[in-house]
Amino acid sequence: MPDTPLLRIRDLKIDFRRHDAPPTQAVRGVSLDLAHGDSIAIVGESGSGKSATALALARLLPEPPASITAAELSIAGHRVLEMKEKELRQVRGREIAYVFQEPTTSLNPVLTVRTQIGEALALHRPEVKDRDAETLRWLEKVGITEPEKRLRAYPHELSGGMQQRVMIAMALCCRPKLLVADEPTTALDVTIQKQIMELLASLRRDLGMSLILITHNLGIIRDVADRVAVMFRGQIVETGPTAEILTRPQHPYTQALLDCVPRMGARQERLRTIDYAALAAATA
């Protein structure tokens, strides 16, 4: 049904347990919907629960030590928490795919680009007969120059930006309905960051897929995300259209994040810091 969200999260909770220590609650009651073709940025500082939430969508957190519960967690009608591992492998890649922040550690250093993308195609699109041709098509689509040459390259022979483009090609060649980009520009310089964000925005429009962008950087979301969800201490404290969140934030934590963004031409000598005690009281 077209009105049914692609992604539905209701009361998601994630605990981490270690030995006899009390559990650490990383995510506390997150609820979120994402429609087909829409995009949302989940923003917040390190430790706010963004990545844990993203990884829980496809049950990528090791259980234990993680414990994931939710009233509902579904992707394209698949109730993720009720699925067996064999069923989950079909959802991962075909329904939901990931691009992570460190392509150097995400790519296998001893396999060529051809082999790594070919393995993804073999697993999730076995109907593709000419995997080399399909791999070249995706390398071209993500803006890699001389794709025939890069096909035979190992990750260490590519720049950081090119490695990230390979990761994006590997994720998208399986034609997922939802792409999760978890801090995809963290290890890249500012110029390459802009190129990667423009590429993700363009591919989302061209392919009609949904996108979740995980980031701590409010400066990169304006042209990529339709909506924003702000996370603080494991909870979503504010959601809304991107332009509205960036210009008229309602929660003090959102305003604090915006105040910490450096601005060209600003005369202020120091960036403002966040008063966590006051924010915790406001969010309690």
Q: How many CB atoms lie within 10 A of CB 106?
A: 18
Helix (H) or strand (E) holding 133: helix 131-141
Q: How many CB atoms lie within 10 A of CB 48?
A: 23
**Inter-residue contact 188 to 196 (CB < 8 Å):** yes
Q: Considering the chain, what is the average pLDDT of its residues?
A: 86
Q: What is the pLDDT of residue 268?
A: 60
Q: What is the pLDDT of residues 51-94, one digit of tens each?
A: 999 999 999 988 888 889 999 999 988 998 988 888 888 888 88
Mean pLDDT computed over 144-156 = 90
Task: Provide the percentage of residues in the chain whose pLDDT is more than 90.
Answer: 34
How far is the CA of 224 from the CAs of 77, 157, 173, 196, in angstroms?
Answer: 25, 29, 20, 11
Strands laid side by side in the 96-99 sheet: 96-99, 178-182, 210-215, 39-43, 227-232, 235-241
Q: What is the pLDDT of residues 213-241, one digit of tens each?
A: 998 878 778 888 899 999 998 999 999 99
Q: What is the pLDDT of residue 33?
A: 93
Tell me if the pTM is above 0.75: yes
- The counts of H helices and E strands in the chain are 11, 11
HSE of 178, CA atoms in CB hemisphere, 13 A:
28
How does strand 210-215 pair with strand 39-43?
parallel
**Inter-residue contact 238 to 41 (CB < 8 Å):** no
Torsion of CA 77, 86, 40, 145, to 10 degrees: -130
Beta-bridge partner residues of 178: 96, 210
Torsional class of 146: left (φ above 0), alpha (ψ -120 to 50), beta (otherwise): left
Residue tagged 């509902």 (tokens) = 72
36 phi and psi angles, rounded to 5 deg: -60, 130
Flag whether pLDDT at 262 surpasses 70: no
**Inter-residue contact 44 to 69 (CB < 8 Å):** no
Flag whether pLDDT at 137 surpasses 80: yes
Beta-bridge partner residues of 182: 214
